[in-house]
């Protein structure tokens, strides 16, 4: 599932003016919005089971997301992480021993 914040550029730019830490240039916001719009249609093709677009700050303020994973999903995720760490360690050791 993908959750997309598709907030109007005008609202984003308006909120930028009140942001004091790490301000983002307006042209970057416009570019991000343009890139977002281009990529929305392809999200289902990327393997997401559903795409939810939230189009306003008011709606975003009311959204609640609750993810309930099957019991074995947590184990599978941990197993994938452990395999990745093991593979990284083996790769690092190969470079040291070479």
Q: Domain check: are 32 and 55 in the same one?
A: yes
Of the pLDDT bands very low, low, confident and very high (cuts 50, 70, 90), residue 95 is very low
Q: Are 6 and 32 in contact (CB under 8 A)?
A: no
Q: Domain check: are 45 and 14 in the same one?
A: yes
Q: Are 65 and 3 in contact (CB under 8 A)?
A: yes
Q: Domain check: are 54 and 80 in the same one?
A: no
Question: How many domains does one find in the chain?
Answer: 2
For 28-64, give the DSSP string.
Answer: HHHHHHHHHHHHHTTTGGGT-S-EEEE-SHHHHHH--
Q: Domain check: are 11 and 34 in the same one?
A: yes
Q: Domain check: are 53 and 76 in the same one?
A: no
Average pLDDT of span 57-79: 76
Query: What is the per-residue pLDDT for 93?
Result: 45
Average pLDDT of span 73-97: 56
Distance CA 33, CA 44 (A): 19
- Comparing 2-16, 22-36, 76-90, the range with the smallest average pLDDT is 76-90
Q: Are 44 and 34 in contact (CB under 8 A)?
A: no
Average pLDDT of span 9-14: 92
* Tens of pLDDT, residues 71-81: 665 556 656 66
Q: Domain check: are 76 and 56 in the same one?
A: no
Q: Domain check: are 74 and 57 in the same one?
A: no
């Amino acid at each position: 599932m993908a959750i997309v914040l598709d907030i109007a550029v005008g609202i984003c730019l308006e909120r930028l003016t009140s942001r004091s830490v790490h301000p983002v240039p307006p042209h970057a916001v416009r570019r991000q919005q343009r890139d977002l719009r281009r990529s929305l249609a392809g999200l289902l093709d990327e393997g997401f089971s559903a795409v939810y677009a939230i189009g306003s700050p008011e709606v975003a303020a009311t959204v609640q997301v609750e993810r309930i994973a099957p019991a074995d999903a947590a184990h599978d995720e941990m197993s994938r992480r452990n395999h990745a760490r093991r593979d990284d360690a083996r790769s690092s050791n190969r470079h040291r021993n070479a």
